[in-house]
Structure 1
Amino acid sequence: MTTLKDISNIEDIKLMVDSFYDNIRKDELLGPIFNDKLQDRWPVHLQKMYGFWQTILFDVRAYSGTPFPPHKQLPVDKTHFDRWIQLFNTTIDSQFSGPITEEAKMRAANMAYMFNHKIEYFRNAENELKK
């Protein structure tokens, strides 16, 4: 049995991000949403994600911005976020193991929960205004 190493540098983050989004692109639930939204802008998105995870996991200021607004209008619900977390955890667990890996999984789960909650909140608020 091979012992997996922990996420420890930008190259590990690139491997994690690239593998995860390769799986997203192929996924029958999430792939169409991501591919439609990003189209030919995948390289730009991946670069942002490298910086995002470097900032989150290593406290290196490689990302600045607000990640929620681009997600606010996506046609997603809890089912999509659950699938996103499942793919994230499966992908990362196949490559890495250790405290930083666990931190990444926890941060991803918290983000998915928060994004889902905020999207539902805004949708409900918009529906109330339409009444």
Structure 2
Amino acid sequence: MRVDPRPEIITETLIHNVVHAFYARVRADAALGPIFESKLNGRWDAHLATMVDFWASVTLRAGRYAGKPHVRHHGLGLAPEHFQQWLAMFEATVNELCRGEAAAALIDRAHRIADSLQISLNIGPKALHFPAFAGGGNARAAR
């Protein structure tokens, strides 16, 4: 019987491997690569370290990430199709590097993050579609 070497639990090493493999795919992607390159040119190492901290915080409760991802994604011209591509690439990466509960947890979290970001950008099927939210506006300030 062949044993599957992919881990079933999330560890710091797994997070590091997923983040680095995923962003290698992103950088090579015709649609997503230029968007990320325009913001991160010359700062990829710092971004990867931040993303490892982010994923460790959302999966292992490491508490190392204190950024504002919703703010960082405004003004990038993102559309629902970008998130679909992002999710497909993320899922492929995760499924290559882990299995079982670890894969399910990472993929579930990625979908929740994608939904949340799209809502904050007022795009996608779950967006609120209130004009005050477009571009990060404040609904209360619009009243």
TM-score (norm 1): 0.88
**Deviation of 1:101 (Å):** 2.2
Determine if contact 1:25/1:31 at 8 Å carries over to the other structure.
yes
Report the equivalent of 1:86. 88
User: Is the alpha carbon distance of 1:10 and 1:28 closer, same or farther for their aligned partners in structure 2, counting shifts above 3 Å?
Assistant: same
Determine if contact 1:57/1:100 at 8 Å carries over to the other structure.
no
RMSD: 2.1
Q: How many residues align?
A: 128
User: Is the alpha carbon distance of 1:112 and 1:62 closer, same or farther for their aligned partners in structure 2, counting shifts above 3 Å?
Assistant: same
Which shows bigger deviation, 87-96 or 56-65?
56-65
Give identity over the alignment, percent: 28
**Deviation of 1:51 (Å):** 0.6
**Deviation of 1:7 (Å):** 4.2
User: Is the alpha carbon distance of 1:2 and 1:23 closer, same or farther for their aligned partners in structure 2, counting shifts above 3 Å?
Assistant: farther
Which shows bigger deviation, 81-90 or 63-72?
63-72
Matching of residues 108-123 of structure 1 within 5 Å: 108-120=110-122
Q: 55, 64, 67: which one pairs with 1:65?
A: 67
Larger radius of gyration: 2
Task: Give 5+ residue unaligned stretches, structure 1.
Answer: none
Report the equivalent of 1:50. 52
SS in structure 1 opposite 2:62?
coil
Determine if contact 2:7/2:102 at 8 Å carries over to the other structure.
no
Distance 1:70 1:2 in 2: 41
TM-score (norm 2): 0.81
